[in-house]
Amino acid sequence: MTAYILRRLLHMIPIVFGVAVLVFVLFATVGEDPVRTALGSHATPEAIADLRSRWGLDKPLPMQFVDFVRRIATFDLGESYNSGEKLTVIFKRGALVSLSVTVPPFLVGIVLSIAVALLIAYFRGSWLDHYSTFVFVGSMSVSYLVYIITFQYVFAFRLDWFPISGYEPGLASIPYLLLPWIIIVVVSAGPDIRVLRTVFLDETRADYVRTAFAKGAGEGRVLFKHILKNAMIPVLTYWVTSVPFLILGAFLMERFFSIPGIGDTLINAVNTGDRPILMTLTVLIAIAYSLFNLLTDILYAYVDPRVKLS
Q: Tens digit of pLDDT for each residue in 74-133?
A: 887 778 877 778 888 888 888 888 888 888 888 888 888 888 887 777 777 777 777 887
Domains within the chain, CATH numbers bracketed? 87-303 (1.10.3720.10)
CA distance 23 to 278: 9
CA distance 257 to 102: 13
What is the distance, to the nearest Å, from the Cα of residue 93 to the centroid of all Cα atoms in its chain? Answer: 17
pLDDT, residue 69, reads: 85
Burial of 273: CB neighbours in 10 Å, binned 0-12, 13-18, 19+: middle
- pTM (two decimals): 0.76
Give, as one character, the DSSP assignment of residue 154. I
Q: Tens digit of pLDDT for each residue in 224-247?
A: 667 777 777 777 777 776 776 666
User: What are the backbone angles phi and psi of residue 79, rounded to the nearest 5°?
Assistant: -135, 160
From the CA atom positions of the chain, what is the Rg in Å?
A: 24
Select the more confidently predicted residue: 202 or 302. Answer: 202
What is the distance, to the nearest Å, from the Cα of residue 182 to the centroid of all Cα atoms in its chain? Answer: 17
Give, as one character, the DSSP assignment of residue 60. -
Q: Tens digit of pLDDT for each residue in 178-229?
A: 988 898 888 888 888 887 888 777 777 777 777 777 767 666 677 766 777 7
Distances from the Cα of 62 to the Cα of 13, 227, 255, 274, angstroms: 19, 54, 35, 21
CA neighbor of 140 nearest in space, from 189, 184, 190: 190
Whether the Cβ atoms of residue 97 and residue 71 lie closer than 8 Å to each other = no
What b/e string do you get for 72-95 counting C-beta neighbours within 10 Å, with b at 16 or more? beeeebbbbbbeeeebeebbebbe
- Residue 4's contacts (CB-CB under 8 Å, 6 or more residues apart) are 298, 309, 310
CA distance 139 to 91: 33
Residue type, 205: R
Select the more confidently predicted residue: 173 or 304. Answer: 173
CA distance 256 to 263: 11
CA distance 32 to 28: 9
Burial of 271: CB neighbours in 10 Å, binned 0-12, 13-18, 19+: exposed
First CA to last CA distance, the chain: 9
Largest Cα separation within the chain, whole Å, is 86
